[in-house]
Structure 1
Amino acid sequence: MSTAPRDTALWHPFADMFQVKSSQFCVSKADGVWIYDQEGRRYLDGTASLWYANVGHGRTEIVEAAAAQMRELESYFVFNDFTNPPAEALADRLSQLAPMDGAKIFLTTGGGESIDTAAKLARQYWAQRGQPQRTHILSRGNAYHGTNGMGTSIGGIEVNQAGFGQLVPEVGRVAHDDAEGLREAIDQLGADRVAAFFAEPVMGAGGLYPPEPGYLEAVAKICAEHDILFVADAVICGFGRVGTWFGVERWGLQPDMITFAKGVTSGYLPLGGVVIAERVAEPFWNHPGRPFRHGATYSGHPTVAAAALANLDILEREKLLQRADELERPLHDALQQLADHPAVAEVRGGTGLLGAVELAPEVLAADPGAVGRAQTAIRDLGVIVRPLGKALAVSPPLIISESEIDLIGKAMQEGLDALV
């Protein structure tokens, strides 16, 4: 295994720094679907870094677009009436790609900021509509909505909330796969107190759960019946990961807001945002004196916007959304071959180019660190997978080949063999 210098000063997110401070896995180079450690050994990037390298690594078109923009105008803010050409072009393009007519685009620097933006906007929208009591935000168990204040508060992964105390009040969660549970929660709270419901099309970091058939359509209908804003968190699912631009089109959904990040630049530069339906934008856009007092310093960053535009060009030109749709079944088949493995409890996937293998309860009972041990064993075999609670997840770049998908399946098989 490759290691970086001992006793790092870098505090790693979600890491046990007692262990990590002197034992890091250092990635020094990447190209296509491959990453390389400092000794030059290559690994298949089975996770597209952190769900985001949709067009793969080393795309010079994106690098050149960013460099050209930096020579012209590297950075400038878009507060008040300031703007710049790349930010305008990106907003126009995303609006045209969105499943809602006349959508507005609020740009951020990542998924967590996008969630906080959508949650604050939901509450502010109802205040502008004369219903300031509508502040309650509902989400789902197992949900992951980032680690900012709002995202931590509405997330459904309990260990991510432990030890922080109450951050944002008036939030609640319902079961992740029970539409009627949402209806019951709304009835209990009173619809006139609920601002919004947040849901990932495919749940990601909470264990990778595709939606039950009809679930998303049902919760969207319940929200519409009660005039509650439906917010789709497409940070992971967008830009081809489930075969469409924003993920939600697959189910014919037209949410009130869509949060996005990751694949919009394929991670080449940090960018996120919120797609906002006309009705949510209307109180702010059609009436004077109603600014939305929220925003990030680097919102609309011209260099980042230029990188995003180049990334969208690649996704369109190489038909990578369709490619993801075509590879969905081969990836699921490769993982499904592990379903009868004695270390495996369940295989999840088949909706988009992502999937997960959950370890058997008896394996986890015998070794609580089995997921991490399996992940390391698979990495030593030359494939990167992601530990997610009780499961190992994959979400490769959309440019991956079927033969490379087979490598993921074979490495996972061998890595799991080491557990039993």
Structure 2
Amino acid sequence: MSVLRFTHNDRPSIGVEIELQLVDETSYALRPAIEAVLGRLPKELHQTVKPELMQSYLEINTGVCNTVRDVGRDLSHTLEELEKVTDAEGLKLLWAATHPFSRWEDQAITVNDRYFLLVDLMQDVARRLVTFGLHVHIGVDSGDKAVMICDRMLRHLPLLLALSSNSPFWNGRRTGLASSRSKIMEDLPTAGLPHQMRNWSEYVWLINHLMDTGFINTIREIWWDIRPHHNFGTVEIRVCDVPANLQQVLALTALVQCLVTAIDRQIDEGTYFAEYHPMMVQQNKWRATRYGSDAQLVDSDNYKQRSVEETTNSLVEYLQPIAEELNCVEELGWAEQLPHETGSRQQLHIFDTHVDAADDERLRRVVQEMINRNDWRQFEL
């Protein structure tokens, strides 16, 4: 039995990962260009920009940041350097959680033994993972704390999915879902909402038994919507679609950092934790998947339905004092705009605007206009 030691963090530090698509600047289709991109990157970005399962996308990782504004500066620097490379290669970066028309069957696997093993094990379940997410890490002080925070954060995950929803199209079809990515990810045997656990020892016991019985090969094959990360000493929130732009990433990051900090303090103060039924969270996640920011979410405390906008505004108000301490008041305030500006909402509006065009042209316009709208340079950091 292996021993998983949780790295101690004495502050709610932040690490952010975003997955972005590599699309051809002329056809706007996915292009397997990761090797060319990596070959042109300056050395300083070799640990920041990384390949992913398929050759048509990449992952950007920040360093360990203290504030949300630091995250913005970090990502802006990387994006500026990365776009010099992609421009030279005739590529554009698409901020969407699925590609509207490029088919998963046509994507090439990145040359990597781990990825080949994963595809051999999972077959089409893995090959279909042409999806793109946002992962936010927040530092906590112990494994027990991380497990308890994961448990208490569950009720908030559907809201985070609704606010980030950005994948209404899949394989050239309008799916009727605001987050197609969410359902594709759930095909993995260890994805979706995690099981509730009492403490770090129970989590370690479960991981060890999953490995001993051959259900997983490594802890990296746990793809829950939220999970402890023992090496980084964080709670990692993985439920979000990659949003439509950098400002939305920072708004969601501020919301997550403030929420985790609030829950961390409640645990330290011995605040009573009201029980909730996991199926209520599951049903709320389905509504967020289906309707995005138009979903009616059920409050786990009083079982009344509330709009995503009302739920967001109430949460932002509640978290305001913590945002002041963490120096992210402005970024947290941006979260109130998210219900009206999700990527899913934008993509569908573009598609519906070009109603006189053929569907393949409408989908190409979606990609083109989402790229043209990207405004990561428009605000000062």
**TM bucket, shorter chain:** under 0.3
Q: Which has the higher helix share?
A: 2
Larger radius of gyration: 1
TM-score by length of 2: 0.27
* TM-score, with structure 1 as normaliser: 0.25
